[in-house]
């Protein structure tokens, strides 16, 4: 449907007014809301691709999220509470204890959510116990730990040790990311993967779940 692809394109190009009028137009024409959401998601994935390719920046990523949110205000009431948003492979994510920074974590969350993962975002200053509890509860096989401060590195190590103590270390792949993270820190922490930028976080999640 041409109108749906136009909607995708408008979101990719960050044309907010066009996105909103296209959504309203499609709704008037009785297009199933799910189709509209799919087209929007497609646009968000393309925005993520542009970001990964270095053509878009955080400003554009955040603005695309803002447009999406505006569009969803019109669509959300049309869906019943089916928990449809919970589909997809699960990734637990959070900023580790002692660190309240969330910009990096939020960008990764946005990228992997757009790509279809079911992201369980525990927020900031998250204790090792909360990570363990969430992994047990959700059965997620991927855990993404974020930090900005290098004093939070030991907290990352604590999480990995807590997974071991809880007997679930071999069931979960641990990704670390954030300003102070590199290969050596990854080794020190005992994580499986590290990412030096947000697109790397998405690549690794796909790799863990064997999706490319």
Partner 1 sequence: MSDQVAQLFEERLARYQATIALEPTDRMIVAGSGSNYFAEIYAGYSRQEIMYDMNKWIAAESKFAEDFPEIDLLRAGRIWGPMFESVGFKLYKLPGRDISLDTDFQFVEGEWMKADEYDVLINNPVEFMMEYRLPRVLGEFKEKGSVRSYMAFLKGGMAFALMGQLMREKALNLEKKYGIPQPFQGAMLTPFDALADGYRGLQGIMIDLFERPDKVLAACEALIPDLVNCAVAVADPLKRYPIFMPLHRGNHPFLSPRQFETFYWPSLYKVISLLIEAGYTVRAYLEGDWTPNWHHWNKFPKGKILCDVDNKADIAKAKKEIGGTVCLAGGIPDRMFIFGTPEEIRARVKELCETAGKDGGLILNGGCAIPYLTKPENFRAFIDATLEYGRYDDTIKPKLKKPPATPAGGPVLGHPPRVITPWEVRLQELGGVMGDEKMIKDVWEMLERRAFVWLHFWDW
Among 1, 62, 87, 165, binds partner 1 (CB under 8 A): 62
H/E stretch holding 92: strand 90-95
Among residues 126, 146, 130, which one has the least CA distance to residue 138?
Answer: 130
The span of 27-35, 53-61, 73-81, 134-142 binding partner 1 (CB under 8 A) equals: 53-61
The span of 32-40, 50-58, 167-175, 201-209 binding partner 1 (CB under 8 A) equals: 50-58
Q: Give least dist CB 60 to partner 1, A.
A: 7
For 170, counting Cβ atoms within 10 Å of its Cβ (0-12 exposed, 13-18 middle, 19+ buried), the class is exposed
Pick 63 or 209: Cβ nearer partner 1: 63
Residues 94-133 that bind partner 1 (CB under 8 A): 98-101, 103, 125
Residues 172-201 that bind partner 1 (CB under 8 A): 179-180, 182, 184-185, 188, 197
Alpha carbon separation from 96 to 101, 117, 147, 157 (Å, rounded):
9, 21, 6, 10
Query: From CA 132, how far away is CA 165, in angstroms rounded?
Result: 10
Q: Is 119 helix (H, G, I), strand (E, B) or coil?
A: strand
**Two structure tokens written together for 11:** 């979101």
The span of 34-42, 51-59, 79-87, 136-144 binding partner 1 (CB under 8 A) equals: 51-59
Task: Report H helices in 76-127.
Answer: 103-114
Q: Alpha-carbon torsion 66, 72, 77, 83, what sign?
A: negative
Among 151, 165, 171, 211, binds partner 1 (CB under 8 A): 151
- Position 73 contacts partner 1 (CB under 8 A): no
Q: Give least dist CB 197 to partner 1, A.
A: 8
Among 2, 30, 59, 81, binds partner 1 (CB under 8 A): 59
- Position 60 contacts partner 1 (CB under 8 A): yes
52 contact partners, CB below 8 Å, separation of at least 6: 111, 199, 202
Number of residues that bind partner 1 (CB under 8 A): 30
Residues found near partner 1 in the complex (CB under 8 A): 14, 16, 51, 54, 56-60, 62-63, 66, 98-101, 103, 125, 149-151, 153-154, 179-180, 182, 184-185, 188, 197
């Amino acid at each position: 449907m041409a109108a749906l692809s136009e909607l995708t394109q408008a979101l990719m190009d960050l044309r907010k007014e066009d996105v909103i009028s296209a959504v309203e137009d499609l709704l008037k024409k009785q297009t199933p809301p799910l189709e509209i959401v799919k087209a929007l998601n497609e646009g968000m994935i393309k925005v993520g691709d542009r970001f990964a390719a270095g053509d878009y920046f955080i400003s554009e990523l955040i603005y695309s999220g803002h447009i999406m949110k505006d569009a969803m205000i019109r669509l959300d009431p049309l869906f019943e509470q089916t928990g449809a948003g919970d589909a997809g492979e699960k990734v637990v994510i959070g900023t580790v204890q002692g660190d309240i920074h969330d910009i990096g974590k939020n960008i990764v969350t946005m990228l992997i959510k757009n790509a279809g993962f079911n992201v369980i975002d525990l927020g900031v200053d998250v204790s090792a116990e909360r990570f363990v509890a969430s992994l047990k509860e959700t059965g997620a096989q991927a855990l993404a730990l974020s930090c900005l401060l290098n004093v939070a590195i030991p907290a990352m190590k604590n999480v990995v040790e807590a997974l071991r103590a809880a007997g679930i270390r071999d069931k979960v792949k641990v990704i670390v990311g954030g300003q102070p993270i590199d290969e050596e820190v990854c080794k020190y922490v005992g994580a499986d993967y590290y990412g030096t930028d947000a697109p790397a976080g998405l690549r690794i999640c796909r790799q863990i779940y064997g999706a490319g």
